[in-house]
Amino acid sequence: MLIESQEPDFVLNNLLLITMGKLLVPKGMILINQDSDHMYQISKIKGRNALEEGEVIKVEFPVDQLDCSVLHGNELPEITKKLGLGEDSVFFNLRTTNHHLGFLCLGPKGTKKPLTDGELEFIESLTIISSVAIANSRMFQELRLINRKLDRKVHDLNTLLELSKDFNMMVDRDEIARTFKFAMLGQMLIRTFFFVLDENGEKSMVADSGLKAKPSQKELQQMFELDDVFFCEDDHDCSFLEKNDIKLLIGLRFQNEKIAVVGVGAPANKQPYNNEQVNFLQSLGNLALLTIQKTYLLEERIEKQRMEEDLNLAKTIQQGLLPSPIPTIEGFDLAATNVSSYQVGGDYFDIVNTPDGGHLLAIADVTGKGVSASLLMANLQSMLHALAPIDISLSGATDSINDIIHENTPPDKFITFFWGKLSSDGKRFEYVNAGHNNPLLFRKGTEEPQELEEGGLILGAMSTIMPYESSTLEVQQGDILVFYTDGVTEAMNPEQTEEYETERLTRCLKENLHRSSEEIMNAVIDDIMEFSDGVQYDDITLMVLKVN
């Protein structure tokens, strides 16, 4: 019966009752060692005694005698006196092969006679059986405890798994907050709690229950400065925690940055939080936090996609403002292109017929990139087309364009602009350069190109004080005129340590002057791409005009 029992209390109680009843002993007790040489708990006690059951006392049995099966009280007078059992008491060692468990302590028999050898042998055998039973029952108790912990772990994991499935389906932060609240109330039986999120430095309450007052920003900041696991019995200066009887604060981190805090009051059983509960709360909080972060990332992704769609649309519209196909001009070989970078830019070129049979050739570059640059480029295109039919000089028209841009754009937005008018007979080219990269004119039979620089300041930098000056060239057979934006000369090598620059452009042009305009243009683009290893940071715009 003792061996099969899995309850230590049952084994000890029956051991004491059997021995006392068998021997007619009026006083007895069982001492259980507390993993110490001298500290014992009075597990069971019978008979009149000043000591109480459950009491832990210090009993200094000789260490060298702890391996003995039986100790006699008359050899241990101080111990028998302390235990209140009398000098003729007997102590039976409760032990297994490896461990000393305690003592069965019996006072003198009611008959005052000493224990016979048979009685000693009987009790000793019974203590051996009981010691095994005690060891087994302890093992079973430990296994039960482990099984309960495992069951709790499995339950917690299943709960977190189900919650994670629910959270993964959510994209609405209010729904996430509600689910977190229901989990705290239903799973953890916690009535008072809060969840605070730090979003770009602004701390706000995501979910809460049972709070008597809301925390101030200062109090929220104080909570974020505490340890990631903070038991509120510790000293702190946050009155909000005290007012709401918050017992535990858990800091939640995302990419090693604390961006949320969960605070909880006492659980339903009013017991302090153990490690398993803290771990569960951390896991639950992290699930909610990661789901909330997912919603922000999803919103950013949607916004990015929307912006990309808008930029692609703007890019399509921008490309539509450029002449396509390239117009033909009798007596000339003309090629032009715009090689777009990855985003909307401000490069612009145009070829416009004038009422007198001439042609306007223009190239421009708006500072910056993005939609603002493309809008300004579109405005420039509109102004150029509006001015083309009007009988006005290039210099006067440039003055008007500059004043309009200066009055209607921010001070950090301006345009480098070059345009010129090819006469109807194709023999003269009048131009104005408003701060643009100087176009290059290659004359037949000359070594170096002529730079077309006559003009004035970039457009939009300031209102027109000095009129833009124009210059006129005589156009001759074999002349080659090359217009370009800074995307050509400022292209970078892969290491970003060197620019393409005008010198390389001039050398490439010289090597290809015998070719057609389109071949010259393509040779320059190929040379730039080879130099930059195909990496493009800005739009590349080129226009090549060759006189046949």
* pLDDT tens, residue by residue, 174-213: 888 888 888 888 777 889 999 999 988 889 899 999 998 8
In this structure, are residues 255 and 230 in contact, taking their beta carbons and an 8 Å threshold? no
7-45 pLDDT, tens digit each: 888 888 888 998 998 889 999 999 999 887 789 999 999
Q: Count CB-CB contacts under 10 A for residue 205.
A: 14
In this structure, are residues 404 and 386 in contact, taking their beta carbons and an 8 Å threshold? no
Going by pLDDT thresholds of 50, 70 and 90, the confidence category of residue 235 is low
Output the pLDDT for position 236: 59
Output the pLDDT for position 234: 56
Output the pLDDT for position 256: 87
What does pTM read for this prediction? 0.56
Please check the confidence at residue 286 and state whether its pLDDT lies above 70. yes
Topology of domain 322-547, CATH: Phosphatase 2c; domain 1 (3.60.40)
The boundaries of every CATH 3.30.450.40 domain in the chain are 8-141, 170-297
Output the pLDDT for position 502: 95
Domain 170-297 maps to which CATH number in 2.40.50.140, 3.30.450.40, 3.40.50.300, 3.50.30.50? 3.30.450.40
Output the pLDDT for position 334: 97
d(CA 84, CA 65): 21
The H or E element spanning position 192 is none
Output the pLDDT for position 342: 62
In this structure, are residues 25 and 110 in contact, taking their beta carbons and an 8 Å threshold? yes
Q: Which tokens go with 493?
A: 């090598």
Q: CATH assignment of 8-141?
A: 3.30.450.40
The boundaries of every CATH 3.60.40.10 domain in the chain are 322-547
d(CA 358, CA 389): 11
In this structure, are residues 122 and 35 in contact, taking their beta carbons and an 8 Å threshold? no
Please check the confidence at residue 464 and state whether its pLDDT lies above 60. yes
Per-residue DSSP letter, 73: G
Output the pLDDT for position 160: 77
More confident residue, 313 or 91: 91
- Rounded to whole angstroms, the maximal C-alpha distance in the chain is 148
The H or E element spanning position 193 is strand 193-199
Please check the confidence at residue 1 and state whether its pLDDT lies above 90. no
Q: Across the chain, what does the average pLDDT equal?
A: 88
Q: Which residue has the tokens 């000098």?
A: 87
d(CA 153, CA 278): 12
Going by pLDDT thresholds of 50, 70 and 90, the confidence category of residue 343 is low
91-109 pLDDT, tens digit each: 999 988 878 899 999 999 9
In this structure, are residues 319 and 382 in contact, taking their beta carbons and an 8 Å threshold? no
The H or E element spanning position 547 is strand 540-547
CA distances 389 to 330, 383, 434, Å, are: 20, 11, 21
Q: Interhelix angle for 517-532 vs 501-511, to 10°?
A: 140
d(CA 366, CA 374): 8
